[in-house]
Amino acid sequence: MLKKKDKYVVAVVGATGAVGNEMIAVLEERKFSIGQLRLFASERSEGKTLEFCDKAVTVEILGENVFKGIDIALFSAGAERSLHFAPFAVKAGCVVVDNSSAWRMDPNVPLVVPEVNPQDLKWHKGIIANPNCSTIQMVVVMKPIHDAVKIKRVVVTTFQSVSGTGKRAMEELLQQSSDMLNFKEIKPVVYPHQIAFNCLPHIDKFMEDGYTKEEIKMVNETKKIMGDDSIRITATTVRVPVFRGHSESVNIETEEKLTANEARVLLSSAPGIIVYDAPEKNIYPLPVYAAGKDEVYVGRIREDDTVENGINMWVVSDNLRKGAALNAVQIAEKLITQIK
Ligand code: NAP
Ligand code: 3JN
């Protein structure tokens, strides 16, 4: 179990990846009380160094016996690695904050967004799961609305950037964009189709019922985090040629009426949210402005009069920060403040 210390030994597993890189940056920026930072990746990264607080830290190869002496491990090396290695970390006395889908729906593992369900951290047994990026930015906005007027149903469509797929996908968008502009042939590798100048209604694999796994994740994770199985949710997830920042069109039906103005006031005072909503001045959230920021941006708030109590909004956040690295570091920060 985690003990109160002045400084902690923290590990980033998957340190060389898009999320891992961001975790290192967020730990530094937020001055997390770190005595030693350990970085892990695959054999491919052996000998590499990454910078943390102006010092080069050597990347180590992940293994079952590496966790002795580590207090907190932030995992982002994929679900397979999390499933296999997290139990070894816990056995060595480490608390794992896992960014993958491996443990999210395990009833013994809390799935936490600090603005929404920090109370769930109290019952962790060594592993805490970080939700999917698209779920995180949506539940941050749903929480104050649910508390005020109870949400009955949500219809969400996402517009997800390529950084959600990782480093290779970012390189693919760059390469294809350049090839297109130079009249060269496009060769899709990471995605099944061209991503430059295109939209793909396909994130993660297709399930038997025609939904994608990403869509199912959004539905199941939202109910678990909100602690309410009665909320009905349907999702369509789309990959768009944006480097960083996921956008979502969210339609919410509530038990009681919430006007657009009331929603603006309510969301403005909620933690982690910035209401950016003045369409008459062309002011609405955009991924290019949300990139690199910590908050969830909400705009285009309008009433939906096709149902008794409905509201539409446009929600944008940096998927690598609040959607992944920042949320994981915030969980770790909350954990250490809760140690008695
Ligand atoms: P990425 O850029 O492809 O990076 C993958 C990382 O995992 C690299 O550091 C890689 O190390 C490491 N890795 C791969 N295989 C490994 C192995 N056998 N042993 C040790 N390390 C290994 O991917 P990413 O975008 O950072 O995403 C990483 C994971 O984070 C995803 O698979 C997903 O589970 C999770 N994720 C979560 C969210 C979210 O919504 N919360 C968003 C994105 C990603 P090498 O460089 O040595 O190959
Ligand atoms: O595609 C996105 O925008 C988010 C991707 C998340 C992701 C990518 C690969 C594997 C996940 C995730 O967090 O759900 C996973 C996974 O762990 O299953």
- How confident is the model at residue 257, as a pLDDT? 98
Q: How many domains does the chain have?
A: 2
Alpha helices in the chain (DSSP H): 18-29, 79-91, 133-149, 167-181, 213-226, 260-268, 287-290, 326-338
Domain shared by 72 and 94, yes or no: yes
- How confident is the model at residue 1, as a pLDDT? 81
Cα atoms in the 13 Å half-sphere on the side-chain side of 328: 36
Contact 49, 30 (CB under 8 A): no
Domain shared by 206 and 309, yes or no: yes
* Closest of 14, 21, 23 to residue 82, by C-alpha: 14
The side-by-side arrangement of strands in the sheet containing 34-41 is: 49-52, 55-61, 34-41, 8-13, 72-75, 95-98, 127-129
Q: For residue 58, which amino acid is it? A: T
Domain membership flag for residue 82: yes
Domain shared by 93 and 205, yes or no: no
Torsion-angle region of residue 14: left (phi > 0), alpha (psi -120 to 50) or beta?
left
**Neighbouring residues of 21: CB distance < 8 A, sequence distance ≥ 6:** 15, 50
pLDDT digits (tens, 9 = 90+) for 36-74: 999 999 999 999 999 999 999 999 999 999 999 999 999
Mutate to test the pocket of ligand 2, among 127, 133, 190 (most ligand atoms within 8 A of CB): 133
- Residue 156 alpha carbon to ligand 1 centre in Å: 26
Per-residue pLDDT, averaged over 245-271, amounts to 98
CB atoms within 10 A of CB 331: 24
Q: What is the DSSP letter of 100?
A: S
Q: What is the DSSP letter of 310?
A: E
Mean pLDDT across the chain: 97
Q: Determine the number of helices (DSSP H) and then strands (DSSP E) in the chain.
A: 8, 13
Domain membership flag for residue 68: yes
Domain shared by 224 and 275, yes or no: yes
- Residue 62 alpha carbon to ligand 1 centre in Å: 12
Domain shared by 56 and 126, yes or no: yes
pLDDT digits (tens, 9 = 90+) for 294-329: 999 999 999 999 999 999 999 999 999 999 999 999
Domain shared by 156 and 261, yes or no: yes
At CA 280, angle to CA 275 and CA 282, rounded to 5?
Answer: 70
Domain membership flag for residue 3: no
- Residue 185 alpha carbon to ligand 2 centre in Å: 29
Contact 319, 161 (CB under 8 A): yes
Q: For residue 196, which amino acid is it? A: A
CATH number of domain containing 57: 3.40.50.720
What span, in angstroms and rounded, lies between the C-alpha atoms of 207 and 226? 24
The sign of the CA dihedral 197, 248, 320, 98 is negative
- How confident is the model at residue 71, as a pLDDT? 98
- Closest ligand 1 atom, residue 45 Cα: 47
Q: What is the DSSP letter of 93?
A: T
CATH number of domain containing 302: 3.30.360.10
246 lines ligand 1 (CB under 6 A): no
Domain shared by 148 and 208, yes or no: yes
Catalytic one among 94, 124, 146, 246? 246
- Residue 300 alpha carbon to ligand 2 centre in Å: 27
Domain shared by 246 and 283, yes or no: yes
* Closest of 272, 274, 270, 275 to residue 301, by C-alpha: 275
**pLDDT at residue 262 greater than cutoff 90:** yes
In percent, the amount of the chain with pLDDT more than 70 equals: 100
Output the pTM of the full model: 0.97
If 0-12 CB within 10 Å is exposed, 13-18 middle and 19+ buried, where does residue 200 land? middle
Domain membership flag for residue 34: yes
323 lines ligand 1 (CB under 6 A): yes
**pLDDT at residue 340 greater than cutoff 90:** no
241 lines ligand 1 (CB under 6 A): no
Domain membership flag for residue 310: yes
* Closest of 67, 27, 21 to residue 48, by C-alpha: 21
Domain membership flag for residue 73: yes
Domain shared by 126 and 139, yes or no: no
- Closest ligand 1 atom, residue 165 Cα: 25
Domain shared by 246 and 264, yes or no: yes
Give the domain extent around 76.
8-130+324-338
Is residue 84 annotated as a catalytic residue, yes or no? Answer: no
Domain membership flag for residue 152: yes
* Closest of 235, 239, 250, 224 to residue 316, by C-alpha: 250
Domain shared by 160 and 226, yes or no: yes
Domain shared by 104 and 197, yes or no: no
pLDDT digits (tens, 9 = 90+) for 126-184: 999 999 999 999 999 999 999 999 999 999 999 999 999 999 999 999 999 999 999 99
Domain membership flag for residue 46: yes
Mutate to test the pocket of ligand 2, among 100, 199, 238 (most ligand atoms within 8 A of CB): 100
198 lines ligand 1 (CB under 6 A): no
**pLDDT at residue 198 greater than cutoff 90:** yes
State residue 55 phi and psi, 5-degree precision. Answer: -125, 145
Catalytic one among 133, 193, 199, 202? 133
**Neighbouring residues of 293: CB distance < 8 A, sequence distance ≥ 6:** 317, 318, 321
